[in-house]
Amino acid sequence: MLDDTDRRLLRHLQADPGQSVAELARASGVAASKAYKRLERLEAAGVLKGLRAVIDWRALGYAVEVSLRVSLDKTEPRAFDEFMAVAREVPEVSEIQTFLGRVDVRLTVLARNMSHYQEIYRSRILTLPHIVDVEALMHVTTIKDVEALPL
């Protein structure tokens, strides 16, 4: 079970994942040896799953990001699995979520520009199996992107 020390360490680590264990320990008011042991334990327990690099797609020339909200044909029992299997093959798809709600699946699609997007949309998205309806939200700006948990 997690105690307040674990939460404090994770809260500080979330805010600045690049810091050393010594810096983290100081910020959290914990001895470095204790911080090190706690982090090892959190990792072993699978709570701390890792540190991932975040890519700025705009810096790579992908100026267009679209959130596609897809409804699938629910009379087809294999609709989700078959849709997901083909969607995973599209390199421009960077996220896939499934939902309970009005929308069944959501895809994040990255493209260099609008004509590139149109090409992906026609040749790789509309051809995905079991689609009943697709609705697009075009990304304008990101106001907040922390994905930190309110620990």
Binding site for other proteins (CB under 8 A): 2, 10, 13-14, 17-18, 45-57, 59-62, 67, 84, 88, 91-103, 106, 110, 135-151
Q: How far is the C-alpha of 9 from the C-alpha of 43, rounded, in Å?
A: 13
For residues 72 and 130, what is the distance between their CA atoms, to the nearest angstrom?
A: 6
User: Is 22 or 47 the residue whose CB approaches other proteins more closely?
Assistant: 47
When the beta carbons of 67 and 129 are compared against other proteins, the nearer one is 67
Tell the smallest beta-carbon distance from residue 65 to other proteins (Å). 9
In the block, residue with structure tokens 């590139």 = 116
- Minimum CB distance to other proteins smaller for 10 or for 30: 10
Q: How many whole angstroms separate alpha carbon 95 and alpha carbon 89?
A: 12
**Smallest separation (angstroms) from other proteins to the CB of 56:** 4
Please state the closest distance from residue 144 (CB atom) to other proteins, in A: 4
Distance CA 37, CA 43 (A): 10
C-beta of 121: minimal distance to other proteins in Å? 14
Contact 102, 80 (CB under 8 A): no
Nearer to other proteins by C-beta: 21 or 32? 21
Give kind and range of the element (H or E) at residue 33.
helix 32-44
